């Protein structure tokens, strides 16, 4: 029973301790098994926390017994519990396949520490989501960022290293912007606890430092979320990183940026001021719509399908930020649900790329010719997750687009609703290109290509099934999201 | 005129921090050499360090250790502790960036961004 009370700490501590132990286990099979164990335990903790939050409300855990506002507290509210489940769930699903999946895409010497780095990245992202302390958030952000720069650089293509360097430079600028914002907030309020900040910020909202803090934090979070036009680091990083890295980060890393945005806007600054006085909605919505169009249009012209998926992520992050920018109830539901849903579908699509690259060694569009018959299960997953990306009913993509359109109409911005639907048509084009080649083009005469091994196929299938399952059982995600909003706007 | 000087001098640290941040960002954006980019990143972060450190300092303040003086004024140690963490992060970032540059040099034979981009053109 005592252990249950410490779950919020264990959520972060388990993968944190797991990472160095994993590095010490030199036998590859052993370290793989250990990493799987750690991620499963982490996922189990997230599920228990979500369950507790839904039953009893917000959990506040004072680190080392120091209570807020003096100590660092971990706060699990429904929003963070949902994201904890997404992040640790993705890790638990992807982790068993890592060693097989990276075999073809990493260099020998980088493979040894790969799992430790993955666990560290997991630690960082879980920490960002669970912490209730603004500076602690920055520290966890850097833990996850530093390990993801290194993970991107493990790719065999030399461009992976160049992409990692660009990612590092832009990511560091983004994180340091958040640091400046937090500093300004501390200077004005004398506290770092987010709930405390939200209370003390009151009359200070009209002062220049607080307004500057909002700008710095939003720009920093936008860089981390790869919101157009600060997305420049993402296409190369996700294209040349090993597919397993793209699958995990494509599903989670950009979502953490969106989380930081939501958390600071609603818990710290207060939505009324951000959207009313500062009119941030007029920045987020146009940028989000622009991202949806630019990302989808560029995705249509890509021949490398991992790059296509990366640009599609630019578009999807656009939907999320547009949904946040609407600033009303349905918009926020769309944002939270899409953070979760896009994680599932982008994870599934990148896992398909991992399967294809393992068998064919590359993932450009010409190599997909005839794959519909040669790797039927893999391609079926691509089709289902792709339909979800477009937003076809009965898939998760539909749920989030539905609420986004509802939110736009509620906000009286019907052009936004029209533009969202139009940009979805572009998604049909880039998904259909692949489907056409895979199912209607004759396969090349080369040696027979077998279906991907079960170890990779099962996680891909699981994510795909979840895309449909949460598309049908919409009450779960939407229910948690609207419950979360109650806590965010302070009227549970 | 003297008012302007007083205004600038009263916020001297903030001006210096802002200048460092701008110079650093400028170097990162404009310089093509990867090492210079890392140096720019460091200047940028140093500006932020200075901003945090000046925030906690009070003129005439002493380290926050209890002294036998009733009129002692203490500087706020919290921003200083925070920035110690940020300095460690910055050192880690720099070392990772330098390690990446070594690998870029190994595979591209150059540390100029333009040459790196040019040699990947199809």
Tell me what pLDDT residue A474 has. Answer: 83
Q: Where are the domains of chain A?
A: 290-492
Check residue A65 and report its DSSP letter.
G
pLDDT of A103 over the 80 cut: no
Percentage of chain A with pLDDT > 70? 98
Work out whether strand A73-76 and strand A59-62 pair parallel, antiparallel, or are unpaired: antiparallel
The residue that leads in pLDDT, B106 or B65, is: B106
The residue that leads in pLDDT, A82 or A2, is: A82
Phi, psi of A117 (to 5 degrees): -65, -40
Buried b / exposed e along A16-34 (16+ C-beta atoms within 10 A)? bebbeebbebeeeeebbeb
pLDDT of B1 over the 70 cut: no
In chain B, which residue's Cα lies nearest the Cα of A157? Answer: B107
Closest by alpha carbon to A407, among A318, A489, A329, A486? Answer: A329
pLDDT bucket at A67, cuts 50 / 70 / 90: confident
- Show residues of chain B in contact with A187, CB under 8 Å: 55
pLDDT bucket at B40, cuts 50 / 70 / 90: very high
CA distances A210 to A70, A86, A436, A447, B16, Å, are 22, 32, 52, 63, 20
DSSP character string of A172-232: HHHHHHHHHHHHHHHHHHS--BHHHHHHHTGGGGGSHHHHHHHHHHHHHHHHHHT-TTS-T
Buried b / exposed e along A223-244 (16+ C-beta atoms within 10 A)? bbbbbbebbebbbbbbbbbbbb
Which of A168-177, A442-451, B55-64, B70-79 bottoms out in mean pLDDT, i.e. has the lowest?
A442-451
Angle between helices A114-130 and A243-263 (to 10 degrees): 20
What is the average per-residue pLDDT within B109-119?
84
pLDDT of A492 over the 50 cut: no
pLDDT of A472 over the 70 cut: yes
pLDDT of A374 over the 70 cut: yes
pLDDT bucket at A107, cuts 50 / 70 / 90: confident
Tell me what pLDDT residue A447 has. Answer: 59
Q: What pLDDT digit, counting tens, does each position of B52-88 carry?
A: 988 888 777 777 777 777 777 888 888 888 999 999 9
> Sign (positive/negative) of CA torsion A128, A132, A134, A135?
negative
Q: A16-21: list long-range contacts, CB under 8 Å, 24+ apart.
A: A16/A119, A16/A120, A16/A123, A18/A119, A19/A116, A19/A117, A19/A119, A19/A120, A19/A123, A20/A116
What is the average per-residue pLDDT within A41-69?
87
Tell me what pLDDT residue A168 has. Answer: 94
Q: How far is A308 from chain B (nearest CA, A)?
A: 18
CATH for B2-119 is: 1.10.287.3510
Tell me what pLDDT residue A31 has. Answer: 86
Average pLDDT of the residues of chain B: 87
| CB-based contact B89 A139, cutoff 8 Å | yes
What is the average per-residue pLDDT within A184-195?
89
Is A169 near chain B, with CB under 8 Å? Answer: yes
- Show residues of chain A in contact with B31, CB under 8 Å: none
Q: Where are the domains of chain B?
A: 2-119
In chain A, which residue's Cα lies nearest the Cα of B48? Answer: A180
Q: How far is A145 from chain B (nearest CA, A)?
A: 9
Quickly count: other Cβ atoms within 10 Å of residue A13's Cβ. 16
| Cβ partners under 8 Å of residue A404, min gap 6 | A319, A322, A323, A326, A330, A331, A334, A338, A417, A420
């Amino acid at each position: 029973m005592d252990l249950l009370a410490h779950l919020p700490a264990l959520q972060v501590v388990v993968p944190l301790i797991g990472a160095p132990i994993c590095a010490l286990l030199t036998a590859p099979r052993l370290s793989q098994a250990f990493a799987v164990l750690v991620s499963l335990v982490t996922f189990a903790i997230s599920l228990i926390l979500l369950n507790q939050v839904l039953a009893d409300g917000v959990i506040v855990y004072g680190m080392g017994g120091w209570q807020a506002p003096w100590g660092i507290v971990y706060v699990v509210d429904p929003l963070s519990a949902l994201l904890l489940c997404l992040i640790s769930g993705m890790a638990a699903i992807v982790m068993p396949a890592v060693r097989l999946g990276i075999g073809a895409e990493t260099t020998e010497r980088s493979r040894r520490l790969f799992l430790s780095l993955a666990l560290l990245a997991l630690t960082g992202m879980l920490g960002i989501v669970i912490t209730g302390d603004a500076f602690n958030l920055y520290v966890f952000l850097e833990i996850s960022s530093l390990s993801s720069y290194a993970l991107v650089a493990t790719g065999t293509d030399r461009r992976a290293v160049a992409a990692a360097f660009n990612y590092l430079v832009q990511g560091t600028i983004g994180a340091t912007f958040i640091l400046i914002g937090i500093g300004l907030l501390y200077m004005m309020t004398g506290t770092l606890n987010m709930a405390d900040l939200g209370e003390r910020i009151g009359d200070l909202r009209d002062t220049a430092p607080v307004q500057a803090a909002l700008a710095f934090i939003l720009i920093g979070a936008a860089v981390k979320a790869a919101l157009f036009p600060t997305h420049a680091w993402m296409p190369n990083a996700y294209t040349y990183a090993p597919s397993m890295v793209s699958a995990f980060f494509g599903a989670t890393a950009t979502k953490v940026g969106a989380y930081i945005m939501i958390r600071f806007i609603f818990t710290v600054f207060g939505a009324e001021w951000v959207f009313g006085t500062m009119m941030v909605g007029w920045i987020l919505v146009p940028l989000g719509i622009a991202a949806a169009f630019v990302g989808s249009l560029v995705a249509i012209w890509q021949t490398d399908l991992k790059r296509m998926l990366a640009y599609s992520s630019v578009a999807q992050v656009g939907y999320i930020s547009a949904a946040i920018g609407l600033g009303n109830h349905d918009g926020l539901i769309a944002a939270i649900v899409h953070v979760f849903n896009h994680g599932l579908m982008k994870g599934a699509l990148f896992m398909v790329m991992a399967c294809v690259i393992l068998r064919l060694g590359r993932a450009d569009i010409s190599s997909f010719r005839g794959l519909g018959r040669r790797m039927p299960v893999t391609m079926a997953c691509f089709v289902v997750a792709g339909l979800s990306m477009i937003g076809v009913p009965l898939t998760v993509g539909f749920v989030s687009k539905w609420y986004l359109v509802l939110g736009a109409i509620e906000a009286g911005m019907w052009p936004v609703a029209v533009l969202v639907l139009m940009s979805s048509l572009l998604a049909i084009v880039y998904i259909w290109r692949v489907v056409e080649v895979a199912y209607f083009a004759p396969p090349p005469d080369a040696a027979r290509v077998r279906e991907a091994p079960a170890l990779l196929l099962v996680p891909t299938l699981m994510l795909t099934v979840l895309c449909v399952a949460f598309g049908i059982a919409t009450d779960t995600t939407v229910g948690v999201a609207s419950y979360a909003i109650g806590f965010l706007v302070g009227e549970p | 005129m003297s008012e302007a000087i007083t205004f600038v001098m009263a916020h001297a640290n903030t001006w210096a921090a802002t200048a460092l941040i701008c110079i650093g960002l400028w170097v990162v954006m404009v310089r093509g050499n990867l090492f210079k980019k890392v140096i720019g990143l460091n200047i940028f972060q140093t500006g932020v360090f200075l901003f945090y450190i000046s925030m906690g300092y009070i003129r005439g303040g002493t380290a926050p250790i209890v002294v036998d003086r009733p009129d002692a004024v203490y500087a706020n140690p919290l921003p200083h502790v925070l920035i110690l963490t940020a300095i460690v992060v910055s050192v880690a970032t720099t070392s990772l960036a330098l390690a990446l540059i070594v690998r870029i040099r190994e595979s591209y034979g150059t540390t100029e961004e333009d040459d790196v981009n040019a040699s990947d053109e199809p």
